[in-house]
């Protein structure tokens, strides 16, 4: 027998679990079923791991399940999740082939082998995996087993808008939050979801703080990240989250699609039949005029129902003037998106589409 292939199992005490800092990505996990630690195994995306902090790097804090950002110190034991990450402004990483030293590539609690980083970023915090968490039967705990269950598709869904952008930090989440503020100011119940990206609490909490009635993300569908997952699963995430938001009785749904148009999952999703069936209108966020022009042309060529441009470019009057010269799509600032008049703006945009007009008429009646 090859001893190197043996799985080593160590019983996990309740006290050790409680003392470990559990990351945001593990928020749906029922830790009461944790029984043992298993090492000398090959981890998979979504597997829960108990790890020890070795050296503090870019991530000096860990986003906890409670929403608090806990300071990290060498020697801390943390519970995070293996996953892939794609972030041009930060890190690229993938699930390693063993439980050797790796990095905390997202403060929301994602462990991966680092492949590249932005030059402005420090090296991610180094962690030492101690073992994968298992239940009493020795089965590795994975986020997928704690995901929302599939439900019967509701007969009618509310008006659904989606926000995409040129890249990271183009203003997508701020745009989503502003839309939430505008619709809630009308007395409407807003459902929001981040359908792609890497597990992090910041965007979710901003949506909650903006007044959304219910907020979900891909983590609720059982994924620590959507990078490199089968493209059909990206579509399944959109379907699952929109159906649960619809079942929650919201008046409108707003979806955020992470990263830029050229990113693998984003590019696929924006051209998929699923998104066409689930989304009535798109808003594009950009940081500057050329990105806005290119994005608008790309989306219009594909027949995507684009109703406005926004994003960080709206912080600059000159940038907005440039967009106005080269595109025919209206520009909506953060102030405009946050105003109750956003409902009336959408009412002007949708009349040419009969089904969507019905949605907007209902919105106006409740506003």
pLDDT digits (tens, 9 = 90+) for 251-286: 999 999 998 888 999 999 999 999 989 999 999 999
What's the pLDDT score for residue 353? 45
**Residue 154 near residue 38 (C-beta atoms within 8 A):** no
Q: Tell me the domain boundaries of the chain.
A: 3-146, 159-366
What's the pLDDT score for residue 10? 77
Q: Does residue 12 surpass a pLDDT of 90?
A: no
pLDDT (average), residues 200-206? 93
What's the pLDDT score for residue 152? 85
Q: Does residue 305 surpass a pLDDT of 50?
A: yes
Question: pLDDT over 70 for what percent of the chain?
Answer: 93
Sign of CA dihedral 272, 284, 305, 365: positive
Q: Does residue 360 surpass a pLDDT of 60?
A: no
**DSSP 8-state symbol, 64:** B
Q: What is the pLDDT of residues 87-102, one digit of tens each?
A: 989 999 999 999 999 9
Distance CA 331, CA 310 (A): 6
What's the pLDDT score for residue 361? 53
Q: Does residue 7 surpass a pLDDT of 80?
A: no
Count of Cβ atoms closer than 10 Å to residue 285 Cβ: 28
Distance CA 310, CA 343 (A): 16
303 vs 214: which has the higher pLDDT: 214
Distance CA 356, CA 58 (A): 45
The two tokens of residue 312 are 């960080």
Residue 61: pLDDT band (50, 70, 90) is: very high
Q: What is the pLDDT of residues 48-57, one digit of tens each?
A: 999 999 999 9
What's the pLDDT score for residue 363? 52
Q: Does residue 364 surpass a pLDDT of 70?
A: no
Q: Does residue 167 surpass a pLDDT of 80?
A: yes
Q: What is the pLDDT of residues 19-46, one digit of tens each?
A: 999 999 999 999 999 999 998 899 999 9
pLDDT (average), residues 333-353? 80
pLDDT (average), residues 302-313? 92
Distance CA 162, CA 313 (A): 18
The two tokens of residue 102 are 């790796």
Distance CA 300, CA 294 (A): 10
Please give the radius of gyration of the chain, using alpha carbons only, rounded to the nearest integer.
22
pLDDT (average), residues 111-130? 97
What's the pLDDT score for residue 168? 81
Q: What is the pLDDT of residues 347-356, one digit of tens each?
A: 777 654 444 4
What are the percentages of helix, strand and coil residues in the chain, rounded to 5? 35, 25, 40
What is the third-level CATH fold of 159-366? Rossmann fold (3.40.50)
- Is 108 exposed, middle or buried (CB count within 10 Å of its CB: 0-12, 13-18, 19+)? buried
pTM score, whole prediction = 0.90
List the helix and strand counts (H, then E) for the chain.
11, 18
Distance CA 292, CA 294 (A): 6
Average pLDDT, the chain: 91
The two tokens of residue 126 are 């180094």
Look-up: residue for tokens 């952008």? 165
Count of Cβ atoms closer than 10 Å to residue 271 Cβ: 13
**Residue 26 near residue 85 (C-beta atoms within 8 A):** no
- Is 124 exposed, middle or buried (CB count within 10 Å of its CB: 0-12, 13-18, 19+)? buried
Residue 3: pLDDT band (50, 70, 90) is: very low
């Amino acid at each position: 027998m090859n001893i190197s292939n043996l799985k080593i199992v160590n019983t996990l005490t309740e006290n050790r679990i409680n003392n470990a800092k559990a990351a945001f990505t593990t928020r749906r996990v029922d830790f009461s079923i944790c029984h043992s630690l298993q090492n000398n195994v090959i981890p998979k995306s979504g597997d829960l791991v108990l790890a020890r902090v070795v050296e503090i790097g870019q991530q000096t804090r860990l986003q906890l399940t409670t929403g608090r950002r806990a300071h990290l110190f060498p020697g801390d034991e943390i519970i995070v999740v293996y996953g892939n990450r794609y972030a041009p402004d930060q890190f690229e990483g993938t699930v390693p082939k063993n439980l050797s030293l790796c990095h905390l590539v997202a403060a929301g609690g994602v462990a991966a082998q680092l492949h590249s980083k932005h030059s402005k970023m420090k090296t991610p915090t180094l962690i030492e995996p101690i073992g994968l968490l298992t239940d009493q039967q020795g089965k590795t705990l994975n986020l997928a087993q704690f995901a929302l269950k599939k439900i019967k598709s509701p007969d009618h869904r509310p008006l659904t808008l989606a926000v995409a952008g040129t890249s990271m930090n183009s203003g997508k989440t701020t745009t989503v939050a502003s839309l939430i503020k505008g619709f809630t100011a009308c007395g409407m119940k807003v459902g929001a979801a981040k359908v792609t990206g890497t597990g992090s609490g910041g965007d979710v909490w901003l949506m909650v703080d903006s007044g959304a009635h219910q907020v979900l993300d891909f983590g609720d569908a059982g994924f620590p990240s959507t990078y490199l997952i089968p493209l059909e699963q990206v579509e399944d995430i959109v379907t699952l989250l929109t159906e649960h938001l619809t079942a929650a009785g919201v008046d409108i749904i707003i979806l955020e699609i992470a990263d830029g148009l050229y990113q693998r999952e984003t590019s696929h999703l924006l051209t998929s039949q699923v998104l066409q069936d689930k989304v009535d209108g798109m808003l594009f966020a950009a940081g500057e005029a050329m990105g806005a022009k290119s994005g608008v042309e790309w989306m219009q060529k594909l027949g995507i129902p684009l109703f406005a441009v926004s994003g960080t470019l709206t912080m600059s009057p000159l940038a907005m003037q440039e967009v106005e010269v080269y595109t025919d799509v209206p520009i909506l600032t953060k102030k405009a998106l946050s105003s109750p008049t956003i409902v009336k703006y959408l009412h002007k945009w949708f009349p040419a589409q009969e089904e969507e007009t019905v949605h907007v008429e209902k919105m106006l009646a409740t506003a």
